A and B are shown apart, each in its own frame.
Chain A
Amino acid sequence: MKKSILLSFTSIVAVAAAGPAIGQDLERDYSTVTDEMLLNPDPGDWLQWRRTVNNWGHSTLDQINRENVGELELAWAWAMAELGQQEVAPIVHDGIMILATNQNQVDALDAATGDLIWSYNHERPEFEGGYHNNQANRQKNSVAFYGDSVILTTVDAKLISLDALSGQVEWEVQVNDWEAGYSFTAGPLIADGKIFTGTSGCSIVGTNGACWITAHDAETGEELWRFNTIDDPNNPAVDDSWNGVPAENRWGASPWTTGAYDAELGIVVYGTGMPIPYPEITRGTGDGDVLYTNSTVALDAETGELVWYYQHLPRDNWDLDSPFERIFLDADVDGEMRRIVLTTPGKNGITFALDAATGEYLWSQETIYQDTITSISEDGEITINEDLIMTDFEEFVTHCPSLVGGRLWQATAYNPNTGLYYLPARNTCGILGAAELGEVAPGNAVGAIRFGGIELAPGAQLGALHVLDIQNGGAAVWDIQSDFAFTSSTLVTDGGLLFVGNSNRYIMALNDETGEELWSTRLNAPIGGYPMTYEVDGVQYVAVPAGQSNQTHANLSPGLGLPRTGGNSVFVFRLPQ
């Protein structure tokens, strides 16, 4: 259903006076985003983080393809003024691009021309805490379309609905207590009339005992259910795994990446992060696996009840966080097509396939250099490298990857036509010590882990792009090793192209089957965020965020020079008209 919206002069005054959105007069056709559209978006749209609720990061557009990508030219660019990490995920619907950036500022732009339609400035508390101030500078894929609205998650743990054409606040919900430490850094998943969120900040002392996945009515924001990732009275295995440490003395398992939804199974899946503190001798859990840290949890989308879980890294001692994107797809498993959850869940870069209905372990594949897991049995039982567990507070260990990965938030992509899966990562090792001198500011609840530095993994280059054949048990197809880190997420299209960017400011289009570089151009800053593609009036565009990133690791890239300013911007390319 399309509707035409004309904002009158009166309503513009009302808009200007009502709050922090700045709008302008326009007449624009806009179609309500429905649940059906979320499951099967128009090829020209990119409605949420990875375009579709199964998190593929794949576009069916092919106007830009292997034959002509070398002709790409800049259509327009936009500066996102707020300083901070560049982790933006542009979304597009009906020719409107929404950019949610740091400090939860949101800009709506004409996706064809780059004209500003409206801006929203989030009003938030003054943070006294360093954690929130820093996380405000690294907001990720914070928005998604639904109905006639744009749904925003914020650093002060709010869920906000903005009118898609004016940016006016329609409603807002305080989901968690930000003063306790809770926050959002990742954006919402919207499906089946619900908004799902994953919480950040579960390393702050005030968040003891609970970290949350929540579901809300997509029209009103009313909370429908919530699931606690570190305490589950319905599952005795959870308490057992913490070796007698009560829930109020637990921290971690933060689900700080947007989840995925499967309509047939009626489930959402989220990944969870590491336990806090990292070393078990500090957290007092002994050899306990500490559920549901570093796990995939599958929840009934209606009720939030746990359907299944699988722990990818039990008994984590190294901050090898496993919250990263889960992907639903159909894959050939031993000659049988099955719906699976595919994920490279954690920093150690091991890719897993799990049965989507049951969580049954199917297979796994290592990618980057890692030494924290020594083996995975045929039924998915993980054996960690106990030689790397600190047993004394004077002890330092070197483990691979370091706590910066491996892989991090830069997202993978899956092409259903080729069965190929793309993982940007790094080859590093790190030195970590249990916090003998952990109380850096005594009496102020400011902890610290002793880091001994980050170095390259033995015999490796820093940047690594791995490509696996998911229809063939995750077999390695090809990889690219580079002196420069891959600092952006990946985008794969039916034009036969893979887009990815690096710390040396190059955005590249590769042949998605061979890895041959077909086009590249150099921008103002390290490529960041989530490159994406869309179509307006028959013209395909590719949008590329660029800006400061903590994943450049300049000290491991000889000769890499970084700009003096962060340079947060988005660049939009198209073929010559």
Chain B
Amino acid sequence: MSESSNPRRHWLFGLVAGAALALGTGTASGQIAENVLPEQLENWRIATGDTIRYCHYPASPTAEFERALGEEIASRLLLASSFQSLPTGYGIDGQFFFEDLFIQLTNDCDIALGLAIEPGFFPVEFTVLQPYANFGYVLVVTDPSITGLRDIPRNERIGTEIGSRGETRLASYILTLPRDQQWQRLPYGDPELMLTRLLDGTISGMVLYGPTFARLRQGHPDEELHVLSLDPVQGASINVGGALLAERVFLRAVVDPVIGEMIEDGTIMQLLEEHGLADALATPGAR
């Protein structure tokens, strides 16, 4: 971990952050809050002025990186940290997701990590931290003669992770092409199945989240897989960060500068490297 050049500044931030954690919260009014059963919300807050409580996805391909990141943020604020699991297993349409996130951030967590951070994406009940990293989507093929997207014959199919940024960016690009130049895209919910189809030739390439591929490759070290950029598809990357309840602006105000500092002083990059994510088209901060 980097040493601060201004210990006094961090002592003050620690005090402020602790106060921010201890502040009570109300609930913002919106469609999400209306869908939540009142009995699911705890109408009290336990004084945790010395701990940042994080929620995250333990099974996420970036989980360990985010745990380390969260601990470092807390440490710089002279606070402890704790981690709880966020549920997965939602439908592709995301039904119940934001309602459950609202409940978790009301009852159990101060900050939820590992979420896509883009303007206007979250309902009014939430606010977001500045992104701490940007991860790209990769094109993976088995044919070494394919050096880029355009090398894939147009009558062949490309697999994509359903609902992913990579999928929508590729799909947007395909829509710009003449009809007879468009690849067919097949959506997959299971990266392992998509890899199976790549290997059996059902699809000629697959587009998936960089960290997901990094993990997939660990499980298939002997397969001949070639990782390519998605050029000329633009914007096939996603900013990732944390979310809080909208009224926790004070907490956001003390955490955001710490994230900014960690980007500037190279800590984020170091954590990405330590957790094997530097090759997953990962860059600190937002793109």
Interface positions of A (Cβ within 8 A of B): 83-84, 127-134, 137, 181, 201, 203-206, 208, 244-246, 248-249, 251, 276-278, 281-284, 319, 391-393, 434-451, 453-454, 548, 550, 552-555, 563-566
Interface size class, chain B: 35 or more
- Of the residues B31, B85, B121, B240, contact of A450 by C-beta under 8 Å: B121
Instruction: Report if B193 contacts A (CB, 8 A).
Output: yes
Instruction: Report if B152 contacts A (CB, 8 A).
Output: no
Query: B31 and A447: CB pair below 8 A?
Result: no
| CB-based nearest B residue for A254 | B91
| CB-based nearest A residue for B214 | A443
Task: Decide: A449 near B39, CB < 8 A? Known: A129-B89, A392-B175.
Answer: no
Q: How many A-B residue pairs have CB under 8 A?
A: 199
Query: A446 and B88: CB pair below 8 A?
Result: yes
Query: B91 and A204: CB pair below 8 A?
Result: yes
A251 to B31, CA, bound (A): 26
Known contacts A84-B37, A127-B87, then 19 further A-B pairs from the complex at CB < 8 Å, ordered by chain A residue: A83-B37, A129-B88, A131-B89, A131-B96, A204-B91, A204-B92, A249-B187, A251-B189, A393-B168, A439-B161, A439-B165, A439-B209, A440-B115, A443-B211, A445-B162, A446-B90, A453-B31, A553-B34, A566-B38
A-B CB proximity, top 5 nearest = A129-B89, A205-B189, A203-B91, A447-B163, A448-B94
Interface positions of B (Cβ within 8 A of A): 29, 31, 34-35, 37-40, 57, 59-62, 85-100, 114-116, 118, 121, 123, 135, 161-165, 167-168, 171-172, 175, 184-190, 193, 202, 209, 211-212, 238, 240
A548 to B34, CA, bound (A): 11
Task: Decide: A130 near B88, CB < 8 A? Known: A249-B187, A283-B187.
Answer: yes
A437 to B235, CA, bound (A): 11
Q: Which residues of B contact A134 (CB under 8 A)?
A: 95-96, 99-100
Task: Decide: A391 near B165, CB < 8 A? Known: A204-B92, A437-B116, A444-B88.
Answer: no
Q: Which residues of B contact A443 (CB under 8 A)?
A: 57, 60-62, 209, 211-212
Give 6 pairs: A residue, B residue, CB < 8 Å, sorted on A: A438-B94, A438-B168, A441-B57, A441-B115, A445-B162, A446-B88
Query: B165 and A442: CB pair below 8 A?
Result: yes
| CB-based nearest B residue for A202 | B91
Q: Which residues of B contact A550 (CB under 8 A)?
A: 35
Task: Decide: A245 near B39, CB < 8 A? Known: A130-B88, A442-B135, A454-B31.
Answer: no
A133 to B87, CA, bound (A): 9
Query: B37 and A282: CB pair below 8 A?
Result: no
The smallest beta-carbon distance between A125 and chain B, in angstroms, is 12
The smallest beta-carbon distance between B274 and chain A, in angstroms, is 18
A283 to B171, CA, bound (A): 10
| CB-based nearest B residue for A562 | B38
- Of the residues A133, A277, A436, contact of B92 by C-beta under 8 Å: A277
Interface centre among B86, B96, B212 (most CB of A within 10 A): B96
Interface centre among B89, B161, B211, B212 (most CB of A within 10 A): B89
| CB-based nearest B residue for A394 | B172
The smallest beta-carbon distance between A16 and chain B, in angstroms, is 29
Interface centre among A137, A391, A437 (most CB of B within 10 A): A437
A452 to B81, CA, bound (A): 35
Q: Which residues of B contact A277 (CB under 8 A)?
A: 92-93, 162-163, 187
A576 to B172, CA, bound (A): 67
The smallest beta-carbon distance between B177 and chain A, in angstroms, is 14
A446 to B87, CA, bound (A): 10
Q: Which residues of B contact A131 (CB under 8 A)?
A: 89-91, 95-96
Task: Decide: A203 near B92, CB < 8 A? Known: A137-B37, A248-B193.
Answer: yes
Query: B92 and A447: CB pair below 8 A?
Result: yes
Q: Which residues of B contact A393 (CB under 8 A)?
A: 168, 171-172
| CB-based nearest B residue for A179 | B89
Q: Which residues of A contact B37 (CB under 8 A)?
A: 83-84, 137, 548, 566
| CB-based nearest A residue for B208 | A443
Q: Which residues of A contact B212 (CB under 8 A)?
A: 443
- Of the residues A128, A448, A451, A566, contact of B39 by C-beta under 8 Å: A566
Query: B92 and A440: CB pair below 8 A?
Result: no
Q: Which residues of B contact A440 (CB under 8 A)?
A: 94, 97, 115-116, 121
| CB-based nearest B residue for A284 | B185
Query: A448 and B163: CB pair below 8 A?
Result: yes
The smallest beta-carbon distance between A445 and chain B, in angstroms, is 6
Query: A434 and B168: CB pair below 8 A?
Result: yes
Query: B94 and A446: CB pair below 8 A?
Result: yes
- Of the residues B100, B121, B168, B240, contact of A282 by C-beta under 8 Å: B168
Q: Which residues of A contact B116 (CB under 8 A)?
A: 437, 439-442
A439 to B212, CA, bound (A): 13
A393 to B169, CA, bound (A): 8
A454 to B85, CA, bound (A): 31
Q: Which residues of A contact B190 (CB under 8 A)?
A: 205-206, 208
Q: Which residues of B contact A442 (CB under 8 A)?
A: 60, 62, 114, 116, 135, 164-165, 209, 211, 238, 240
Query: B89 and A127: CB pair below 8 A?
Result: yes
- Of the residues A84, A129, A244, A437, contact of B184 by C-beta under 8 Å: A244
- Of the residues A137, A437, A447, A454, contact of B118 by C-beta under 8 Å: A437
A277 to B121, CA, bound (A): 18
Query: A130 and B90: CB pair below 8 A?
Result: yes
A63 to B96, CA, bound (A): 43
The smallest beta-carbon distance between A200 and chain B, in angstroms, is 10
Interface centre among B94, B114, B121 (most CB of A within 10 A): B94
| CB-based nearest B residue for A436 | B168
A453 to B94, CA, bound (A): 15
A208 to B190, CA, bound (A): 9
A142 to B248, CA, bound (A): 41
A435 to B171, CA, bound (A): 11
A306 to B58, CA, bound (A): 44
Interface centre among B39, B163, B209 (most CB of A within 10 A): B163
The smallest beta-carbon distance between B144 and chain A, in angstroms, is 27
The smallest beta-carbon distance between A564 and chain B, in angstroms, is 5
| CB-based nearest B residue for A454 | B31
Query: A449 and B94: CB pair below 8 A?
Result: yes
A324 to B209, CA, bound (A): 38
| CB-based nearest A residue for B240 | A442
The smallest beta-carbon distance between B196 and chain A, in angstroms, is 10
- Of the residues B57, B95, B184, contact of A444 by C-beta under 8 Å: B57
Query: B93 and A284: CB pair below 8 A?
Result: no
The smallest beta-carbon distance between A405 and chain B, in angstroms, is 15
Query: B164 and A438: CB pair below 8 A?
Result: yes
The smallest beta-carbon distance between B20 and chain A, in angstroms, is 25
Q: Which residues of A contact B209 (CB under 8 A)?
A: 439, 442-443
Q: Which residues of A contact B202 (CB under 8 A)?
A: 246
Q: Which residues of A contact B93 (CB under 8 A)?
A: 203, 276-278, 319, 447-449
Q: Which residues of B contact A555 (CB under 8 A)?
A: 29, 31, 34
The smallest beta-carbon distance between B287 and chain A, in angstroms, is 14
Query: A284 and B97: CB pair below 8 A?
Result: no
Q: Which residues of B contact A548 (CB under 8 A)?
A: 37-38
- Of the residues B34, B88, B161, contact of A441 by C-beta under 8 Å: B88
The smallest beta-carbon distance between A17 and chain B, in angstroms, is 32
Q: Which residues of A contact B88 (CB under 8 A)?
A: 128-130, 441, 444-446
Query: A439 and B39: CB pair below 8 A?
Result: no
Query: B94 and A554: CB pair below 8 A?
Result: no
Q: Which residues of B contact A445 (CB under 8 A)?
A: 88, 92, 161-163, 189
A133 to B90, CA, bound (A): 10
A194 to B37, CA, bound (A): 37
Interface centre among B93, B99, B188, B202 (most CB of A within 10 A): B93
A82 to B80, CA, bound (A): 36
The smallest beta-carbon distance between A79 and chain B, in angstroms, is 13
A446 to B92, CA, bound (A): 6
- Of the residues B92, B171, B211, contact of A205 by C-beta under 8 Å: B92
